[in-house]
Structure 1
Amino acid sequence: MVNQNDEKRWAIISLASVPLIMTLGNSMLIPILPLMEKKLDISKLQSSYIITVYSVVAIIFIPLAGYLSDRFGRKKVMIPALIITGIGGLIAGLASWKMDQPYTVILIGRVLQGIGASGAMPIVFPLVGDMFRRDSEASATLGIIETSNTVGKVLSPILGSALTAIIWFLPFFSIPVFCAASVLMIIFLIKNKKKNEEEEPLRFKQYWQLIKDVFRDHKRWLIAIFIIGAILMFILFGFLFYLSNILEDKFDIDGIKKGLLLAIPLLALSIASYVTGKKIKDNLTLMKWITFIGIVFAGCSVAVISFMDHFIYLLIIFLICGAGIGMALPCLDSLITKSLDKTVRGAITSIYSSMRFIGVAAGPPAVAVLMKQNIIWMVCILTFFALGAGFLAFKNINPE
């Protein structure tokens, strides 16, 4: 007979599978875009749309998914979302395999993946808050969720390159397989509440009023966390884009070797997220100061990018940046998940997820533009954003 601890452990594994799959579904394609350009006979701008359309669609649909999850239940939104994500990958894969000009249909498949992503990963945060009544358990689980998210980033360049070495469009077909595994785990390993514990769903007017009440009472620290989340993702993905290009353009390091080097600092982010989630428990004051210190680490690392032009130095700097961001993210997740009533938790955490997706989408193109100028411009702007995030954490996150 399965005991309660085993049930919780398997439920956490099921939850952690969602951000892992969503991250793989997007990041796995980044290192193989140059090959897609050749196979599909498209430009670099067109290939960038394969990545961008995923994030843009997710940003648009995330708030709707949050509302639906609050009204109808987390699993009732998450499971169809994962199925839609799998269908999107299947469409993109079949188009690449069977069609002579598959680019437009691939984009349609990516749109479906983005819609699915909007109802999958962002729902994980409120579901953790629903499942774990003890703040220490919720914080530890959110640390694992962030770790899983980062592990996806670590694996993406390696797995994407390995699958492409077999068949160039195989990464598209891998997504339905991953999604099917996650759906089965969520169905069988995450239990629904008993019917007598379910509250009557709120009408939209009541629901909207509750959200307005939440922002009226908590807007200062909520908006601060939204902005900090966006800035940290902006810095992380901007820095990752910069490092990826520098390794290839200046040091002639590409393919799986480049993926392995990029995995080193991302692994530091994973470890920092996991350890932070374990340590913060329900200590809100500790969450604030770890967030602030993590932002300081990230800010200091981007401020010294231009001091030395060597790939070992850049990896070390990115390692420090990743560790700092890894410290901050579980704290932000816990603050926003455990401080809100469950009736609006899905909507508020969805707005937070949207802000993070904005940072993910904006970081690489912004850094691409800045890299054409003097490197000092990139350093100054990233440092400025880090200073802003640090100020918001210090001034506006007040645990009392």
Structure 2
Amino acid sequence: MENTNNVENKVSIWCILSLASIPLVMTLGNSMLIPVLPILEKKVGISSFQSSMIITSYSVAAIFLIPVAGYLSDRFGRKKVILPSLILALIGGLIAGFASWKMDNPYTWIIIGRVLQGVGASGAMPIVLPLVGDLYKGDDEKTSSCLGIIETSNTFGKVLSPILGSVFAAFLWFLPFFSISIFSLISIILIFFFVKVPKEMDEPIKLKDFLSNIKKTFKLEGKWLYTVFLMGIYGMLILFGVLFFLSENLEKAHDIKGIKKGFVLAIPLLLLCIASFITGRKIKGSLPVIKRMMIICLIVTSASVIFVGFTKEKLFLLLVVTSIVGIAIGALLPVLDAIITGNIKKEERGTVTSFYSSARFIGVAAGPPIMSLVMKNYLNVSYITVGVLGLVLLFLVFKFVKVEDIEKEESA
């Protein structure tokens, strides 16, 4: 294996920006459609539940294929998995775009295009986390800092998404689908030219031994890993559920539409982005700090999310509450990235982080359809329930995320 200094020298600013382009593109590929869903419902003639499936179909495809991509990246190399995946995302955008443009009843083909994009997302976005760990091997502080940039890029994509989606849809309602393909092409070019992966001197581990090692990893560290996975699901479930509700509510309750709605949706997401960036810079891979941040974020999220439904008629209060939720989730995400990437062996890092990414996509997939079903009659009850679930997770963090035990396993 190349020594750490040689590897670090290769991590140029262009390499980091290229890696950051992947979560940016994949986030735009999903979140950009949220403000456009009410328009899609009218243009395609579908219900709010059917429109929510345009988000969910992307995420469901990713849930099941991410662990496969993680193993392939551990076995054959990160870059060899990322590039073909981005090409699939590009093709998926073209299919959904052309179907919307040329067909009278495009819904089925939109879903097919979205599933293909989800397959692409499964092999691109989750592989970035272990690749960062590979590039900064042995330097938890730099790993955490770079992961903060990656997560900030992810959240910045969420900030841009409602604005870009609204602007594109103002020209042509199906333009967001085509734009995803263009963004994917840009990311493909950046990754191809600027990301230099550390060369492996060891033979790739055999599948039988690999599965045995993964099983051992989850047996030894499963309690804190499962807790982190559940927090990933929880954060994304709240985020995408709240965004879907906010998009519908701004139009129906406050008559805010089009580009103006995009800018309003971007307010809580901008604060989420800022919180991600600051947290990624401050935690520096320190496990005691990471655990403390988990506790704070869960308390703030649980305490604030229960008020979302109660403030739906008062726009200013609604934005204050959703912004607090956004800040808490934004601070939580780089913390979860850092604890997994910094405390799992390199040989299993790709697969374990992929399981974590799958968990996050469960939240992304579940948020919009659940919200479409409950927001009419059970809005307040659902948000209170989510707040209680946050307190349950808080208990699990106290019980299973033991700093001393994790440090002991890492040193072993």
When normalised by structure 2's length, the TM-score is 0.91
Of 187, 195, 211, the match for 1:190 = 195
Of 176, 200, 205, the match for 1:202 = 205
Letter of the 1:112 partner, please give it: L
Q: 1:275 to 1:199 in 2, by over 3 A?
A: same
Asked if the contact 2:31/2:162 (under 8 Å) is kept, the reply is yes
1:355 maps to which residue?
359
CA distance in 1, matches of 2:328, 2:41: 35
Q: Show the 5 A alignment for 1:131-210.
A: 131-133=135-137, 134-194=139-199, 197-210=200-213
| Deviation sequence 1:271-308 (CA, Å, 0-9, x none) | 11101110111211101101110111111111333555
Of 297, 301, 306, the match for 1:294 = 297
Letter of the 1:76 partner, please give it: K
Q: 1:297 to 1:380 in 2, by over 3 A?
A: same
Asked if the contact 1:7/1:189 (under 8 Å) is kept, the reply is no
2:340 maps to which residue?
336
Moved more, 128-137 or 304-313: 304-313
CA distance in 2, matches of 1:150, 1:57: 21
Letter of the 2:322 partner, please give it: F
1:327 and 2:331 are equivalent in the alignment: yes
How many residue pairs match? The answer is 395
2:225 maps to which residue?
222
1:15 maps to which residue?
19
Moved more, 244-253 or 356-365: 244-253
CA distance in 2, matches of 1:281, 1:324: 18
CA distance in 2, matches of 1:259, 1:5: 40
2:62 maps to which residue?
58
Asked if the contact 2:52/2:372 (under 8 Å) is kept, the reply is no
Q: Once the 2 structures are TM-superposed, how far is the Cα of residue 179 of structure 1 from its aligned partner?
A: 1.0
Task: State the SS of the aligned residue for 2:12.
Answer: helix
Query: Aligned Cα RMSD in Å?
Result: 1.8
Asked if the contact 1:232/1:325 (under 8 Å) is kept, the reply is yes
Q: Show the 5 A alignment for 1:1-400.
A: 7-133=11-137, 134-194=139-199, 197-305=200-308, 308=311, 309-400=313-404
Asked if the contact 2:87/2:184 (under 8 Å) is kept, the reply is yes
CA distance in 2, matches of 1:175, 1:307: 35
Q: Once the 2 structures are TM-superposed, how far is the Cα of residue 55 of structure 1 from its aligned partner?
A: 0.7
Q: Once the 2 structures are TM-superposed, how far is the Cα of residue 6 of structure 1 from its aligned partner?
A: 8.9
CA distance in 1, matches of 2:41, 2:367: 22
Q: Once the 2 structures are TM-superposed, how far is the Cα of residue 193 of structure 1 from its aligned partner?
A: 2.3
Task: State the SS of the aligned residue for 2:403.
Answer: coil
Q: 1:115 to 1:236 in 2, by over 3 A?
A: same
Asked if the contact 2:272/2:326 (under 8 Å) is kept, the reply is yes
Q: Once the 2 structures are TM-superposed, how far is the Cα of residue 20 of structure 1 from its aligned partner?
A: 0.8
Unmatched segments (≥5 aa) in structure 1: none
Moved more, 98-107 or 347-356: 98-107
Letter of the 1:179 partner, please give it: S
| Deviation sequence 1:171-214 (CA, Å, 0-9, x none) | 121122111111111111111323xx332112211111010000
Q: Once the 2 structures are TM-superposed, how far is the Cα of residue 7 of structure 1 from its aligned partner?
A: 4.6
Q: 1:136 to 1:262 in 2, by over 3 A?
A: same
Moved more, 300-309 or 68-77: 300-309
Letter of the 1:187 partner, please give it: F
Task: State the SS of the aligned residue for 1:201.
Answer: coil
| Deviation sequence 1:220-265 (CA, Å, 0-9, x none) | 1011101111111112222222333332222222222122112111
